[in-house]
Amino acid sequence: MIYRHLPTDPDYQLLTHPITIEQYLMLPYVYPAFFTYDLQIVSP
């Protein structure tokens, strides 16, 4: 869910390596169907 919501407290990200706000802002915006259909980003 890190693609849609970034918790203010890194402990609530529940990731092995929490990401920064800068990294979050660089992620592509994807809709839930992206994960439903198991799609992959092949190039920026």
3-state secondary structure at position 13: helix
The total domain count for the chain is 1
How does pLDDT run across 14-38, given as a tens digit for each residue? 999 999 999 999 999 899 999 999 9
State residue 2's pLDDT score. 84
Residue 3 confidence (pLDDT):
86
Query: Does residue 12 contact residue 4 with C-beta atoms inside 8 Å?
Result: no
What pLDDT, on the 0 to 100 scale, is given for residue 33? 94
Q: List the domain range (segments joined by +) for residue 15.
A: 1-44
For residue 43, name the pLDDT band (cuts at 50, 70, 90).
confident
Q: Which residue has the higher pLDDT, 1 or 41?
A: 41
Residue 44 has pLDDT above 90, yes or no: no
